[in-house]
Structure 1
Amino acid sequence: MSEKITDAENAAFEAGIKLGALYHQFTGSPISLHTAESLENAIAESISVQPFVESITVKIDRDIVRSKLNNEFGYCELEGRMITVKLIVAYKNVRLFASMEYERELDYPLMKIEKVESSSE
């Protein structure tokens, strides 16, 4: 017997796909303190054009970037621990708030659902 997939489950799937794509597409990108803001904007704009994205904010931790800079060339590679993302996916009557943020205890950039709002149809 098959169960109906809910709008909230579809919204969660969409959020997970977007955060996973973001992580795997952009980690390893060259970054410096001078280019951090433009990379934040490029990441956000790239994800924002995908279906069901209502809003996205991307922040890159400048302190971590500064600590990783190559002294000779002045840049490093973007790592998951440097990125904080807030994402809202709107799918039918559901708004799902998701995030990605580095969790020190896990030593991992954890992606999670923060909140789900559903309106009456």
Structure 2
Amino acid sequence: MPTDAQQACFEAGIKFGSLYHQFAGTPVSPRSTRSLETAIAESIENQPFCESVTVAIDDDAVAADIDHENGYTELSGHLMEVEMRIAYDSVTVRTRMAMEDGYPLMKLVEVVDGRDPDGDVPADTDATN
């Protein structure tokens, strides 16, 4: 049986897979970056255990990628940075996707278990997702 921390990390992976593969290839222009950021974040936040998603699309990189007169390019990993917070029972996971060595790397930033040393969930923690 997976631990809560393992399950929280799994949930984060599911969210990243959905986000990247659902939105990669979406037409984007410097005029549409803010609305696309919002659409991506709100879409992924609908998923279970997802507390927050922040998407930042680089307007300058989008403009630099436009190579035809139609005024848009396709969204890809090098154009955006993403941060997510996932909570599963007493565990909170923070993740980030950013360019690293020319690749949009998705990684765990922090895994915090809210249980006390005896394994009990503190009374002020809602563990009923």
Question: Quick check: TM above 0.5?
Answer: yes
Question: Which residue number in structure 2 is paired with residue 101 of structure 1?
Answer: 98
* Matched length: 116
Listed as ranges, the gaps of 5+ residues in structure 2 are 116-120, 122-129
Q: Does 1:112 align with 2:110?
A: no
For residues 75-103 of structure 1, give each alpha carbon's deviation from its aligned partner in whole angstroms, at most 9, with x where no partner exists. Answer: 11111111110100000000000111111
1:63 to 60, 72, 92: 60
TM-score normalised to structure 1 length:
0.92
Question: Which residue number in structure 1 is paired with residue 70 of structure 2?
Answer: 73
Q: Secondary structure at the match of 1:10?
A: helix
Q: How does 1:1-121 map to 2 (within 5 A)?
A: 4-103=1-100, 105=101, 107-120=102-115, 121=121
How many angstroms apart in 2 are the aligned matches of 1:82 and 1:55?
Answer: 20
For residues 34-79 of structure 1, give each alpha carbon's deviation from its aligned partner in whole angstroms, at most 9, with x where no partner exists. Answer: 0010000000000001000011100001111010113411111111
Alignment-mate amino acid for residue 106 of structure 2 = M
Calculate percent identity across the aligned residue pairs.
Answer: 49
Alignment-mate amino acid for residue 52 of structure 2 = S
Question: Which residue number in structure 1 is paired with residue 118 of structure 2?
Answer: none
CA root-mean-square deviation: 0.9
How many angstroms apart in 2 are the aligned matches of 1:86 and 1:78?
Answer: 17
Displaced runs of 4+ in structure 1, greater than 6 A? none
Alignment-mate amino acid for residue 81 of structure 2 = T
TM-score normalised to structure 2 length:
0.87
Alignment-mate amino acid for residue 16 of structure 2 = L
Listed as ranges, the gaps of 5+ residues in structure 1 are none
Bigger Rg over Cα: 2
